[in-house]
Amino acid sequence: MPKGGEAKPTAALWKPALLLIAVYAGLIVLPHLLSFSQKEIAVFLLINVLLVVSYRVLTLTGEWSLGHAVIMGVGAYASALYAKALGVPVPLAMLLGAATAGLVAYVLSFPLFRMKGFYFLIGSFAAGEVIRLLWKRFRDPFGGPKGIKGIPGLSDIEIGTLKIAFWDPVNYYYVCLLVVTLSLVVLYRLERSRFGLTFHAVHWQDKLAESVGVDTRRTRTLAFVVASVFGGLAGALLAHYLGTINPNRFDVEEMVFVLIWVIVGGTSTFFGPIIGVVVLTIVNEMVLREMGVDQARPLIYGAILIASVLFLPQGLESLGPKIKRLFAGRPDRPDRPDRRQLAGEPSRD
């Protein structure tokens, strides 16, 4: 093989790696450049990144849920109760909270996956509201409408004279960065595994997938449980940072924001929802808050969603290829195969 042919794949591998290194270098430095309130926003942003990416796992099978915010709350409540009521160490309580969210999702999958499409959407909303009303109804152990207070946080670490306190948003930011990074690696690898390919097959050709032996209901259940485990982990991270949670924190309004982040960012690629939540968080904190129109956020988000559906139906993630084609001097349309490819002949490239 000629040397020129070897250089191209190597460059193709190095460019994403260098970009990823640059991004994480920026993320490591970022909290030291922010004010205290901005550091807290950065913590919430990392948690929301895990939430939207976990939600996308379910959409890979073609199903959209209105209960993912409540599933996040299941992880938050479970982790809080394990740590506060049972005295379980916080890191273990977080993992158990995530597992509990997955278990609840597995139980809910039996009635919910008797439905598809719009009916699944409404069913997931109803199931989520039932769980939320149980939190409000029972003061023991859920604290009723006021929720749970005094949730233990991560214990401080002392190394010689150095003390690391996790109530400090900078230190908790690095904990979230580590947990979210590991979670994203797992979810990314899952999507590119045989299971991820099966998720896509169930979405686009469920009858064909069934004809070759794929259990579509079991596949959708697996995606639902995986999404819920990582959504529950996001909830656990939130609960042990805030120290208090209540049912209103996981209501339908929060779920609407999750949907907007995902739709505006796009679901075609792994990074679409991440782009959506990052861009809209920046818009909210640096534009809406500065303009003093934070109360109008739902209205403005709704307008952004409508504009996205009309003018960027594939989300913000589609802007990159559009801009690339524009600078390359090509029209904004999918590339068409040449006559040799249609005839089954190899391309000269």
Could you give phi then psi for residue 158, rounded to 5 degrees?
A: -115, 125
CA nearest neighbour of 68 among 224, 203, 237: 224
pLDDT on residue 127: 96
Mean pLDDT of all residues in 178-186: 97
CB neighbours (10 Å) of residue 326? Answer: 11
Pick 293 or 25 by higher pLDDT.
25
Tell me the pTM: 0.88
227-285 pLDDT, tens per residue?
A: 999 999 999 999 999 999 999 999 998 999 999 999 999 988 999 999 999 999 988 88
Cβ neighbourhood burial of 168 (10 Å; 0-12, 13-18, 19+): middle
- Residue ranges of the alpha helices (H) in 153-296? 169-191, 194-204, 206-211, 216-242, 252-265, 272-283, 289-291
pLDDT score, position 332: 53
For residue 335, pLDDT over 70 is answered with no
Overall average pLDDT of the 204-210 stretch: 86
Q: How far is CA 206 from CA 17, 63, 195, 199, 237, in A?
A: 35, 12, 14, 9, 35
pLDDT given at position 343: 42
Residue 325 host element (H or E): helix 319-327
What is the rounded average pLDDT of the residues 125-141? 94
What average pLDDT does the structure give for the chain?
87
Instruction: Label residue 324 by pLDDT band (50, 70, 90).
Output: confident
Range 65-94 average pLDDT: 96
The rounded distance, in Å, linking the Cα atoms of 159 and 153 is 19
What pLDDT shows up at residue 13? 65
pLDDT score of 329 more than 90: no
Q: How many CB atoms lie within 10 A of CB 45?
A: 18
pLDDT above 70 as % of the chain: 89
Label residue 340 by pLDDT band (50, 70, 90). Answer: very low
Only one residue has tokens 């990144």, namely: 49
- Per-residue confidence band for 289, with pLDDT thresholds at 50, 70 and 90: confident
φ, ψ for residue 176 (rounded to 5)? -65, -40
Count of CB atoms situated within 10 Å of the CB of 65? 28
Q: How much of the chain exceeds pLDDT 90, in percent?
A: 62
pLDDT score of 1 = 47
In DSSP terms, 148 is beta-bridged to: 245
Rounded average pLDDT over 4-30: 76
Tokens encoding 323: 């801009």
Residue by residue, DSSP assigns 120-166 as: HHHHHHHHHHHHHHHHHH-HHHH-GGG-EE----PPPEEETTEEE-T
pLDDT in tens, 49-69: 999 999 999 999 999 999 999
More confident of the two residues 118 and 340: 118
Distance CA 278, CA 265 (A): 9
Dihedral angle sign, alpha carbons of residues 277, 180, 172, 102 = positive
| Residue in this structure with the two tokens 């290829």, named with its chain if needed | 321
For residue 304, what are the contacts with CB-CB under 8 A and spacing of at least 6? 260, 264, 280, 283
Local structure of 277: helix, strand or coil: helix
| Average pLDDT of the segment spanning 200-218 | 88
For residue 318, pLDDT over 90 is answered with no
- Rounded to an integer, the average pLDDT of 139-157 is 92
